[in-house]
């Protein structure tokens, strides 16, 4: 943990240098990653720190997105609200809507809380198409980023830096928040709200306030999103946005501070990369979530932190070689699985089915080879690799277990 | 006789058809250590729940410093100077011992909706937490997760958290349950020390603790207070012997 500040510094330095390191398309993905990271951090405050699982966080993201677009149109990026400060509008609208929604939803806990957040978000989503003046109907509301403070905001670089600054500052503020009395009370709320009441705290007011602060940062993320694409459409209110932030945060690790950010960034990156390569990205996202929850219940970052805090006692070299062996075996299994899924998806796709005539099944190109779907070969290849990878994982695990036994 | 600091007047509590507290009358005097004893299921914890705002009484008044607190919310009762511990350990399991106490201490300093100060720099709060840690003998365990404490350590933490708000009236529900002899002795001494200048209402099954600690004792049987008096009076009370102490001795 003593390397944490150094690691942080390097990360920030890389992020600042990024426009000179990667292509434009990658930089675009990086903007999305930053926004996802901030959105997940906002969710993490509520779910990870205060223990309130919201299924409707798209609502506050969306409110922030629309508020920013309207402010962009109203002020033209000048005067009181120059372009770089527009996310403040997103934050303010998130805060206000969060106070309102938080007031009602935090009257209940657990499943009932989750259901209320879901219902409120669905309510907004159902209303949006009918409120054309606010949500712009199917076409949405569009706008233009205007120059301000001597910055053009026309280029991708400018947008990237705007997003980067707001994301880093927001995450920094969230960190500081977690160290304040109210931030500590969020943990108390998660751990035992009943006890807090008997210590004299107003748990409903605490819950409402923390909900609102989470919604505020979600609103900032939403504003960054609409500023990036210079538009907002009511699809940002759809429930899959709410679901994605839950899954991303848990994959990263909702109880460790940067877990949700890493989860959001990594999954958005995968989404970006694979959207060109596969049509079943959502399936992979689901599989990754299930696997992480089954084998790394603390999330990726949570598990990493846990390993660093409680080292296995095998020494660094051993630990790393075991880790590499595990990763390599998993990569083989994953390749096998991906091969099978992609092959199956192609066989089952309507385009392919249309090409099948009278028992004549054309070959399918996958990973630069042509495979005959009726032959055993592709199936055996995928299954074989998958089985081989899993067998390797089991072998590695057995070895580790044997070593542990020998030590004990 | 001085006016009672806590006074239960004709208090009843029913859960549906079950009449658990029947016309309880109890005066707790300022500065005294008052024990409530009685067989299992007599309603002792229910009585505490009524005084602390967990439940509202079905009927009757509960006066704290002369003001009716019956039916107030737990937080409000706490703010008026009454703090309690729980029979079933009620702590913040997933955070450190230090954090448990800090959360408990902060309220007294009106630190609730404060998001512009660092909790680590609250000198007074930290000093008080350290002080409490010493008192409950958990200084060494300050950075341990509360869930990883032993059962009796958790009981000590529970007492520490109850003390944290510097209450006038303290309700302790079986604080020594599950403690060893040495721990029980130490905790009895601690309770004696910390309740100096305060008022204590305690439920405890360990009769040696009760009789040495309490100035006065009330006996609760089937939701009724059948006797209140000094330890000597209670020892000599025929009804008490029959209803409760007799069966303990047998
Ligand atoms: N919420 C409730 N609903 C219904 N009945 C309850 C409730 N709480 C307590 N009771 C009943 O009230 C009676 C008294 O319970 P209470 O916990 O107050 O007893 P106690 O004197 O503290 O016992 P013990 O010595 O075992 O702690 C019991 O019969 C219990 O089942
Ligand atoms: Mg009890």
Question: For the ranges A49-58, A236-245, A299-308, A370-379, which has the lowest average pLDDT?
Answer: A370-379
d(CA A34, CA A217): 13
Non-local (6+) Cβ contacts of A33 within 8 A are A264, A265, A268, A269, A272
> Confidence band (pLDDT; 50, 70, 90) for B245?
low
pLDDT of B133 over the 70 cut: yes
Which ligand lies nearest to the CA atom of residue B21 in the structure? 1
Query: What chain B residue is nearest to A175 in terms of C-alpha separation?
Result: B118
pLDDT of A135 over the 90 cut: no
Output the pLDDT for position A129: 85
Residue bearing the CA closest to ligand 1, atom 28? B41
How many A×B Cβ pairs under 8 Å? 97
- A285 within 8 A of A271, measured Cβ to Cβ: yes
H or E stretch including B15? strand B6-15
Output the pLDDT for position A245: 94
- A224 within 8 A of A262, measured Cβ to Cβ: no
d(CA A285, CA A246): 12
Task: Verify whether the Cβ–Cβ distance A181 to B112 is below 8 Å.
Answer: yes
Q: For residue A64, which of A228, A218, A209, A173 has the smallest C-alpha distance?
A: A218
Task: Tell me which of B44, B57, B88, B174 to substitute to probe ligand 1's pocket, judged by most ligand atoms within 8 Å of the beta carbon.
Answer: B44
Query: What chain B residue is nearest to A203 in terms of C-alpha separation?
Result: B75
Rounded to the nearest angstrom, the minimum Cα separation between B239 and chain A is 35
Strand, coil or helix: what is B219? Answer: strand
Higher pLDDT, A389 or B248: A389
Q: A192 CB near a chain B CB, below 8 Å?
A: yes
Neighbours of A57 (CB within 10 A): 30
Domains of chain B: 6-249 (3.40.50.300)
- A386 within 8 A of A340, measured Cβ to Cβ: yes
Digit-coded pLDDT (tens) for A100-128: 999 999 999 889 999 999 999 999 999 98
Whole-number average pLDDT of chain B: 89
Strand, coil or helix: what is A204? Answer: helix
Q: Give the pairing of strands B6-15 and B18-28.
A: antiparallel
In chain B, which residues have their Cβ closer than 8 Å to the Cβ of A195? 90-92, 161
Task: Tell me which of B11, B18, B202 to substitute to probe ligand 1's pocket, judged by most ligand atoms within 8 Å of the beta carbon.
Answer: B18
- A38 within 8 A of A194, measured Cβ to Cβ: no
d(CA B96, CA B148): 9
Which ligand lies nearest to the CA atom of residue B49 in the structure? 1
> Confidence band (pLDDT; 50, 70, 90) for B1?
low
CB-facing half-sphere around the CA of A363: CA atoms within 13 A? 10
Tell me the CA–centroid distance for residue A395 and ligand 1, in Å.
54
| CB of B43 sitting under 6 A from ligand 1 | yes
pLDDT of B249 over the 70 cut: no
pLDDT of B129 over the 90 cut: yes
Strand, coil or helix: what is B21? Answer: strand
Output the pLDDT for position A307: 81
- The arithmetic mean of pLDDT across residues B106-123, rounded, is 87
In chain A, which residues have their Cβ closer than 8 Å to the Cβ of B95? 187-188, 191
Output the pLDDT for position A77: 64
pLDDT of A192 over the 60 cut: yes
Whole-number average pLDDT of chain A: 88
Output the pLDDT for position A1: 59
- The arithmetic mean of pLDDT across residues A227-235, rounded, is 88
- B86 within 8 A of B173, measured Cβ to Cβ: yes
Global pTM value? 0.89
Task: Dump strand ranges (E) for A234-366.
Answer: 364-366
> Confidence band (pLDDT; 50, 70, 90) for A181?
very high
- Both tokens of A152, joined, read 């053009």
> Confidence band (pLDDT; 50, 70, 90) for B250?
very low
CB-facing half-sphere around the CA of A51: CA atoms within 13 A? 18
Atom of ligand 1 nearest to the CA of B205: 25
Q: Which of B54, B74, B88 best probes binding to A when mutated, by most A CB atoms within 10 angstroms?
A: B74
| CB of B46 sitting under 6 A from ligand 1 | yes
Query: What chain A residue is nearest to B147 in terms of C-alpha separation?
Result: A191
Digit-coded pLDDT (tens) for A272-289: 888 777 777 888 888 888
Digit-coded pLDDT (tens) for A44-87: 999 999 999 999 999 999 999 999 999 888 877 677 788 888 89
| CB of B40 sitting under 6 A from ligand 1 | yes
In chain A, which residues have their Cβ closer than 8 Å to the Cβ of B93? 191-192
Please spell the DSSP secondary structure of A122-141, one letter per residue. Answer: HHHHHHGGG-HHHH-GGG-E
Q: For residue B2, which of B40, B45, B31, B39 has the smallest C-alpha distance?
A: B31
d(CA A289, CA A20): 33
Output the pLDDT for position A61: 96
Partner residue facing A198 (CB), from B84, B112, B113? B84
Interface pTM (ipTM) of the complex?
A: 0.90
Task: Tell me which of B45, B47, B177, B205 to substitute to probe ligand 1's pocket, judged by most ligand atoms within 8 Å of the beta carbon.
Answer: B45
Buried b (16+ CB within 10 A) or exposed e, A186-217: bbbbbbbbebbbbbbbbbbebbbbbbbbbbbb
Digit-coded pLDDT (tens) for A245-261: 999 999 999 999 999 99
- B 17-56 residues inside an 8 A Cβ radius of A: 52-54
Cβ-based burial of A158 (10 A; exposed 0-12, middle 13-18, buried ≥19) = middle
Which ligand lies nearest to the CA atom of residue B43 in the structure? 1
Percent of chain B whose predicted confidence (pLDDT) is above 90: 53
Q: B165 CB near a chain A CB, below 8 Å?
A: yes
pLDDT of B7 over the 50 cut: yes
- Both tokens of A83, joined, read 């372009």
pLDDT of A18 over the 80 cut: yes
Output the pLDDT for position A330: 87
Partner residue facing B52 (CB), from A185, A198, A202? A198
| CB of B44 sitting under 6 A from ligand 1 | yes
Task: Verify whether the Cβ–Cβ distance B117 to A188 is below 8 Å.
Answer: no
Residue bearing the CA closest to ligand 1, atom 7? B15
Atom of ligand 1 nearest to the CA of B48: 18
- Both tokens of B84, joined, read 């309690």
- The arithmetic mean of pLDDT across residues A293-305, rounded, is 87
Intra-chain end-to-end CA distance of chain B, in Å: 37
Instruction: Please list the alpha-helical segments (H only) found in chain B.
Output: 44-52, 74-79, 97-106, 123-135, 151-163, 181-194, 207-213, 231-236, 238-240, 246-249
**DSSP 8-state class, residue A255:** T
Rounded to the nearest angstrom, the minimum Cα separation between B126 and chain A is 12
Output the pLDDT for position A196: 95
CB-facing half-sphere around the CA of A283: CA atoms within 13 A? 10
- The arithmetic mean of pLDDT across residues A332-350, rounded, is 85
Query: What chain A residue is nearest to B53 in terms of C-alpha separation?
Result: A198
d(CA B240, CA B145): 43
In chain A, which residues have their Cβ closer than 8 Å to the Cβ of B106? 181, 184-185
Q: Count H helices and E strands in chain B, helices first.
A: 10, 10
Task: Verify whether the Cβ–Cβ distance A179 to B103 is below 8 Å.
Answer: no
Question: For the ranges A47-61, A246-260, A364-378, B193-207, which has the lowest average pLDDT?
Answer: A364-378
Q: A175 CB near a chain B CB, below 8 Å?
A: no
Strand, coil or helix: what is B68? Answer: strand
pLDDT of A331 over the 50 cut: yes
Output the pLDDT for position A96: 97
- A 1-30 residues inside an 8 A Cβ radius of B: none
Q: B116 CB near a chain A CB, below 8 Å?
A: yes
Q: B13 CB near a chain A CB, below 8 Å?
A: no
Cα–chain center distance at B165: 13
**Residue with structure tokens 């109880």?**
A255
Q: For residue A171, which of A60, A22, A41 has the smallest C-alpha distance?
A: A41
Distances (CA, A) of A317 to A4, A57, A165, A301, A321: 21, 43, 38, 21, 6
| CB of B41 sitting under 6 A from ligand 1 | yes
d(CA B59, CA A193): 28
């Amino acid at each position: 943990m003593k390397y944490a500040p150094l690691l942080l510094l390097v990360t920030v330095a890389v992020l600042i240098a990024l426009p000179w390191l990667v292509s434009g398309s990658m930089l675009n993905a990086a903007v999305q990653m930053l926004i996802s990271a901030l959105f997940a951090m906002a969710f993490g405050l509520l779910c990870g720190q205060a223990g309130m699982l919201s299924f409707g966080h798209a609502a506050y993201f969306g409110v922030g997105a629309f508020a920013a677009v309207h402010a962009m149109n109203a002020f033209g990026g000048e005067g009181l609200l120059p372009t770089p400060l527009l996310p403040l509008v997103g934050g303010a609208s998130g805060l206000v809507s969060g106070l309102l929604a938080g007031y009602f939803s935090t009257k209940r806990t657990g499943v009932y809380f989750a259901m209320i957040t879901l219902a409120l978000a669905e309510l907004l989503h159902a209303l949006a198409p009918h409120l054309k003046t606010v949500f712009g109907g199917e076409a949405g509301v569009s706008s233009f980023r205007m120059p301000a403070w001597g910055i053009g905001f026309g280029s991708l670089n400018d947008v990237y830096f705007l997003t980067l600054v707001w994301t880093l500052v927001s995450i920094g503020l969230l960190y500081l928040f977690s160290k304040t009395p109210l931030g500590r009370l969020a943990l108390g709320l998660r751990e035992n709200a009943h006890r807090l009441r008997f210590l004299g705290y107003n748990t409903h007011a605490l819950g409402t306030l923390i909900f609102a602060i989470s919604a505020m940062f979600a609103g900032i993320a939403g504003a960054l999103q609409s500023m990036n694409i210079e538009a907002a459409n009511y699809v940002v209110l759809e429930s899959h946005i709410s679901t994605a932030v839950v899954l991303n945060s848990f994959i990263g690790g909702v109880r460790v501070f940067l877990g949700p950010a890493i989860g959001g960034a990594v999954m958005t990156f995968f989404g970006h990369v694979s959207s060109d390569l596969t049509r079943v990205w959502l399936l992979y996202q689901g599989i990754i979530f299930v696997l992480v929850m089954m084998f790394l219940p603390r999330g990726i970052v949570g598990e990493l932190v846990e390993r660093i805090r409680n080292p296995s006692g095998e020494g660094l070299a051993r630990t790393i070689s075991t880790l590499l062996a595990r990763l390599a075996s998993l990569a083989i299994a994953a390749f096998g699985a991906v091969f099978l899924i992609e092959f199956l998806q192609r066989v089952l796709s309507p385009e392919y089915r249309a090409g099948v005539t009278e028992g004549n099944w054309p070959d399918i190109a996958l990973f630069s080879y042509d495979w005959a779907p009726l032959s055993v070969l592709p199936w055996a290849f995928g299954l074989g690799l998958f089985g081989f990878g899993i067998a390797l994982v089991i072998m590695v695990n057995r070895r580790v277990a044997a070593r542990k036994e020998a030590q004990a | 006789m001085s006016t009672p600091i806590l006074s239960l007047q004709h208090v009843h509590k029913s859960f549906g058809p079950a009449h658990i507290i029947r016309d309880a009358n109890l005066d707790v005097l300022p500065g005294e250590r008052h024990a409530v004893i009685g067989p299992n299921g007599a309603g002792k914890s229910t009585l505490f729940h009524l005084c602390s705002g967990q439940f509202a009484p079905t009927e009757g008044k509960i006066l704290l410093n002369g003001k009716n607190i019956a039916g107030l919310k737990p937080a409000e009762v706490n703010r008026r100077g009454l703090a309690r511990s729980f029979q079933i350990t009620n702590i913040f399991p997933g955070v450190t011992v230090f954090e448990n106490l800090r959360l408990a201490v902060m309220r007294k300093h009106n630190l609730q909706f404060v998001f512009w100060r660092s909790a680590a720099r609250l000198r007074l709060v930290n000093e008080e937490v350290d002080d409490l840690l010493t008192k409950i003998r958990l200084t060494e365990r300050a950075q341990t997760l509360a869930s990883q404490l032993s059962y009796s350590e958790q009981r000590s933490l529970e007492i520490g958290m109850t003390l944290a708000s510097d209450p006038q009236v303290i309700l302790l529900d079986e604080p020594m349950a599950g403690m060893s002899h040495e721990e029980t002795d130490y905790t009895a001494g601690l309770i004696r020390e910390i309740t100096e200048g305060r008022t204590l209402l305690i439920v405890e099954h360990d009769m040696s603790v009760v009789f040495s600690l309490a100035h006065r004792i009330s006996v609760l049987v089937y939701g009724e207070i059948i006797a209140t008096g000094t330890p000597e009076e209670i020892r000599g009370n025929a009804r008490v012997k029959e209803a409760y102490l007799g069966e303990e001795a047998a």
